[in-house]
Amino acid sequence: MIRFLDAGESHGKALIAILDGLPSNFIVDIDYINDELKRRQTGYGRGERMKIEEDKIEILSGLRGRKTTGNPITMMIHNKDYEKWKNIIDREPEDKEKISIPRPGHGDLVGYFKYGTGDIRDSIERTSARETAIRTAVGALCKSILKEIGIDIRSKVNSIGNSYEEIVDLFDDSIYEKINNSSVRCYDEEIEKSFMKKIDICKEEGETIGGSVYISVKGVPIGVGSYSQWDRKLDAILSYGIMSLQGVKAIEFGNGLDLSLRGSSFNDEILYKDGRISRDTNNCGGIEAGVSNGEKIDIKVFIKPIPSIKKDIRTIDLKTREEKTTRYERSDVSAVVPASIILENIVAFYILKELLSKFPNDEFNDFKKAVKDYRDSVYIK
């Protein structure tokens, strides 16, 4: 079983993760992990913080040369912005400096009462989406392992506000190249202009905007996950990870929210083509009864507008209970574009975790062989 913990504050010295349970003898590509971190930082609607940070991963343990040893892997990303904030972060604040005006939509109010430090700054530092940088690094390592065993994870922006783009096959390389070259990660030029215009309008008005992301996973064999217990179902496990991302409010697998479909049209008929079991449709999104069925795992994720807005909205001072207007701290206009990259890597961690549960191995080549042998036994012509 693989697992990880991460730590660090938004403006602290660094973000750190310890990833445990990876098999030995996998050759780690540091450049690939850094490329994923760079993908996370780019995109239309990003804020000033991304101009400051140039995220690079440093691996402190768990490798010898470039190979995993089977020992826990420690990852670190240094925060460049720490130098500007260390006088605030590294000392006890005076009472007059403590923040007591919570911003609606953030963790400010709940953190203030849950942990009782008397300063909302402590909640701000940990609830910040800055934490997703280290989670992206963890997921990128997992995604590189999945690629070696024939599993690919791709994504696109599905909507910004109420402007939608049609779902396409992300594994058509010509289409996916257009998506990766788009600053809003879509393939249609007119839709791209529409997405950018909505973001521009929100920026001018001091607003933010949400949207949705489409993720597709190709190559997961039949039989990953389980219906034997409620907490082993693959769609439940993926939902758990996806919902942990800041701003995510809803998830759809396949066409599960299409209310126009009836049972006869929603069910994906089982066929036998070209020596394998297959489907002509994928309304269930590649998972039945909590178990992968060999088709692509298709997920749509819906992301709320970022709550940090320049417009005044009502709140209170928690010390005096007087009515106030909300504070503003720097923010992106939209988090949908970077969320698509972060979600690819979150999904990668949970897919790899379930595969290692099904094919437990301490050594990578044994793991790879076990997956291949299983595929061969399932897809016999």
Q: Is 330 annotated as a binding residue?
A: yes
Q: Is residue 337 within 8 Å of 160, Cβ to Cβ?
A: no
Q: Is 68 annotated as a binding residue?
A: no
Q: Is 307 annotated as a binding residue?
A: yes
Contacts of 31 (CB under 8 A, 6+ apart): none
Q: Is 233 annotated as a binding residue?
A: no
How far is Cα 258 from Cα 339, in angstroms, rounded to an integer? 23
Read off the pLDDT of residues 143-165 as tens digits, 9 standing for 90 and up: 999 999 999 999 999 999 999 99
Q: Quick one: pLDDT band at residue 329, thresholds 50, 70, 90?
A: confident
Strand, coil or helix: what is 31? Answer: helix
How far is Cα 141 from Cα 37, in angstroms, rounded to an integer? 11
Q: Is 216 annotated as a binding residue?
A: no
* Position 83 pLDDT exceeds 70: yes
Q: Is 46 annotated as a binding residue?
A: yes
Q: Is 103 annotated as a binding residue?
A: no
How far is Cα 365 from Cα 149, in angstroms, rounded to an integer? 10
* Three-point CA angle 88, 93, 94, nearest 5°: 140
Question: What pLDDT is stored for residue 47 in this prediction?
Answer: 66
Q: Is 262 annotated as a binding residue?
A: no
Q: Which residues of 334-347 are buried (b: 16+ CB within 10 A; e: fewer)?
A: bbbbbbbbbbbbbb
Q: Is 289 annotated as a binding residue?
A: yes
Mean pLDDT of all residues in 9-19: 96
* Position 49 pLDDT exceeds 80: no
Read off the pLDDT of residues 184-235 as tens digits, 9 standing for 90 and up: 999 999 999 999 999 999 999 989 999 999 999 999 999 999 999 999 999 9
pTM of the prediction? Answer: 0.94
Q: Is 247 annotated as a binding residue?
A: yes
Q: What is the dihedral of CA 228, 218, 344, 106, to 10 degrees?
A: -50
Q: Is 306 annotated as a binding residue?
A: yes
Q: Is 304 annotated as a binding residue?
A: yes
Cα 135 to the chain's mean position, in Å? Answer: 8
Nearest to 118 by CA among 87, 103, 97, 88: 97
Identify the structural domains of the chain with CATH numbers, from first to last: 3-378 (3.60.150.10)
* Three-point CA angle 362, 367, 371, nearest 5°: 155
